[in-house]
Amino acid sequence: MSTIETSRQLVPWRQLWIWTVFIALDTATQLAFKWGADGLADMDFGLQMMIRASTLPGVWLAAIGYAATFIVWMLILRDMPLSRAFPMTGLAYVTVPLLAWLALGERIDAVQAGGIALIVAGVIALGWEDEEDGDGQT
């Protein structure tokens, strides 16, 4: 087996890994924002709220999460066209509500569940590769 063949076989595993990291980071970041925002529930927007926000661990975790997500996003875009990569970010519209339900006890009603199913179907449809050339272009 040549080096080229070996690298082509590893690419899907690398993409799966990097997308898993991206979605996990993005989801954790959103949950951290919620945690931080809960600590600000009794305040109106303004300087005092911003000062208080700067002391909350959830806000700091969210900021760090955004920075980490940015780095992983750059790695993804280095190897994938934006037109294929961007729809994949929609998976966070699945993981965030599901983890908010599991971790925070938030509700998911039938309409939201249907929307989540449509997002999954859309991501699958947009990410489907043409089997003829394997690069998603016809």
pLDDT of residue 80: 87
Its domain, for residue 117, covers: 3-127
Q: Which amino acid is at 55?
A: T
pLDDT above 80: residue 130: no
Q: Is residue 60 part of a domain?
A: yes
pLDDT in tens, 2-50: 444 444 444 678 888 999 999 999 999 999 999 999 989 888 999 999 9
What's the total number of domains in the chain?
1
What's the mean pLDDT when you consider all of the chain?
A: 84
pLDDT of residue 120: 87
23 and 91 Cβ atoms separated by less than 8 Å: yes
Position 127 confidence tier, pLDDT thresholds 50, 70, 90: low
Q: Is residue 137 part of a domain?
A: no
Cα(76)–Cα(90) distance, rounded to whole angstroms?
15
Q: The pTM is what?
A: 0.76
Q: Is residue 135 part of a domain?
A: no
Q: Is residue 36 part of a domain?
A: yes
pLDDT above 50: residue 94: yes
Cα(19)–Cα(25) distance, rounded to whole angstroms?
10
pLDDT of residue 55: 92
129 and 135 Cβ atoms separated by less than 8 Å: yes
Q: Is residue 75 part of a domain?
A: yes
